[in-house]
Amino acid sequence: MAPSSTDKHGTDQRFDVNLSILFTELPLLERPAAAAAAGFTAVELWWPWIETPTPAQAELDALKKALDDAGTQLVGLNFYAGQLPGPDRGALSVPGKESDRFRANIEVAADFAASVGCKALNALYGNRVEDVNPQIQDTLALENLVLAARAADRIGAILLVETLNKPESPLYPLVSAPAAIEVIDRVNAATGLGNAKFLLDIYHLSMNGEDVSQVIAAYADKTGHVQIADNPGRGAPGTGSLPLEQLLEELTKAGYEGWVGLEYKAGDRPSAESFDWLPAEARAAR
Are the C-beta atoms of residues 144 and 103 closer than 8 Å to each other? yes
Dist CA 151 CA 236 (whole Å): 34
For the stretch 209-226, pLDDT in tens is 999 999 999 999 999 999
- State the residue range of the domain holding 198: 3-282
Per-residue pLDDT tens over the stretch 168-213: 999 999 999 999 999 999 999 999 999 999 999 999 999 999 999 9
pLDDT digits (tens, 9 = 90+) for 120-137: 999 999 999 999 999 999
For residue 64, what is the domain's CATH number? 3.20.20.150
- 10 Å Cβ neighbour count for 160? 28
Domain count, the chain: 1
Q: What are phi and psi of 19, to 5 degrees?
A: -80, 5
Which band of pLDDT confidence, cut at 50, 70 and 90, is reported for residue 11? very low
Residues tagged active-site = 162, 263
**Rounded distance, CA 227 to CA 38, Å?**
19
Length of the chain: 286
* Segment 244-262, tens digit of pLDDT: 999 999 999 999 999 999 9
3-state secondary structure the chain: CCHHHCCCHHHHCEEEEECCCCCCCCCHHHHHHHHHHCCCCEEEECCCCCCCCCCCHHHHHHHHHHHHHHCCEEEEEECCCCCCCCCCCECCCCCCHHHHHHHHHHHHHHHHHHHHCCCEEECCECCCCCCCCHHHHHHHHHHHHHHHHHHHHHCCCEEEEECCCCCCCCCCCCCCHHHHHHHHHHHHHHHCCCCEEEEEEHHHHHHCCCCHHHHHHHHHHHEEEEEECCCCCCCCCCCCCCCHHHHHHHHHHCCCCCEEEECCCCCCCCHHHCCCCCCHHHCCCC
Give the separation between CA 273 and CA 25, rounded to whole angstroms.
Answer: 13
Q: How many CB atoms lie within 10 A of CB 156?
A: 11
Contact 120, 16 (CB under 8 A): no
Cα separation of 259 and 281, whole Å?
16
What's the whole-model pTM score? 0.95
